[in-house]
Amino acid sequence: MNVLEITGLSKSFSGLRAVNGVGLRVAEHQTVSIIGPNGSGKTTTLNLVTGVLRPDAGTILINGHPLPARHPEQVAASGILRTFQNGRVFGNLSVNENIEIGTHLGLRANRPFKVFAAHPLMAWLPMLAEVLLACFPTPAARRELAEAQERVNEQVNRFPERLGPRQNHLAHTLSYANRRRTEIARSLVAGPELLVLDEPTAGMNQSETAEMLKQLLELKASGQAMLLVEHKLDLVMTLSDWVYVMDGGQVIASGPPARVRTDPAVIDAYLGRKS
Ligand SMILES: Nc1ncnc2c1ncn2[C@@H]1O[C@H](COP(=O)(O)OP(=O)(O)OP(=O)(O)O)[C@@H](O)[C@H]1O
Ligand SMILES: [Mg+2]
């Protein structure tokens, strides 16, 4: 079963074909990577998959079902959670609070009448109910929030030395690497079907990168499906079951890491140009 299957995905920006007929699959428990030179369309592909951008053409299936709508929140609710290339955390919230945001997708007792949120005339109903519950929480709502905090702690414990001592620090005081760890924890706390990572080690030094690789290998061993964009090829080759290579908005090669590494088209388009 494929967690994600995209076919013929295309997106242009005022005439520039950033993504041009891309097809890609991520099976259950797999780690799949997209590599390619700067501007080859990797982030745009992730933005299309996660509903940040709307495609001009193509289909996106999650667990065999078309995305019901392509609003980022709905994509997240259907199990695709992501981190961003430039890192996105809320600077004036603590590490804990940033991660806690990821739990909100799964809240039931604290988010009644959720179905009405998408209804233009009834959208006020869930908002009102949530405010009332925040002021006068029911036992079920209290229990659910306590469980959510427990799940936040579990995620912090993935990075015990890094995030543990900083749980109550505001995110704007964090190092770049710790912001990325917070973002990953926020995605994971929602229990994603597919974790989408855009350059998770960007801005990390060699030892931080090695540490992140170890953490991603652990995640993979736990069965987490991942779609990864990364420039650090050693990490990609160690972690991935399958690698797609993009150039000029198209997939120019794909295969297991060992095959892609030696593909002449890849060496020319990517590896060759880099050295
Ligand atoms: N919102 C946008 N508006 C206009 N052009 C865009 C937009 N987003 C991306 N592009 C262009 O689309 C092309 C692909 O960009 P994209 O960010 O997907 O590349 P990338 O492979 O992620 O590159 P990098 O490795 O540098 O992150 C580039 O030429 C970029 O300038
Ligand atoms: Mg990018």
pLDDT tens digit sequence for 186-220: 999 999 999 999 999 998 999 999 999 999 999 99
Cβ neighbours, 10 Å, residue 206:
9
Lowest mean pLDDT among 70-79, 102-111, 164-173, 239-248: 102-111
Opening angle at CA 19, ends 56 and 53, nearest 5:
50
Superfamily for domain range 17-271: P-loop containing nucleotide triphosphate hydrolases (3.40.50.300)
Q: Give the pLDDT band (50/70/90) at residue 98.
A: very high
Measured from the Cα of 47, ligand 1's closest atom is 18
pLDDT tens digit sequence for 22-70: 999 999 999 999 999 999 999 999 999 999 999 999 999 999 988 766 6
pLDDT in the model for residue 138: 76
pLDDT(274) > 60: no
Look over the chain and give the mean of its residue pLDDT values, rounded to a whole number. Answer: 89
Does 106 or 104 have the greater pLDDT score? 104
pLDDT in the model for residue 230: 95
pLDDT(144) > 80: no
- Both tokens of 234, joined, read 């050693």
Q: Do residues 84 and 198 touch, judged by C-beta distance below 8 A?
A: yes
pLDDT in the model for residue 275: 42
Measured from the Cα of 53, ligand 1's closest atom is 1
Q: Give the pLDDT band (50/70/90) at residue 271.
A: low
C-alpha to C-alpha distance for 127 and 15, rounded to whole angstroms: 41
Q: Is the CB of 248 under 6 A from ligand 1?
A: no
**Across the strands, what pairs with 34?**
229, 244
Q: Whose CA is nearest to atom 16 of ligand 1?
A: 41
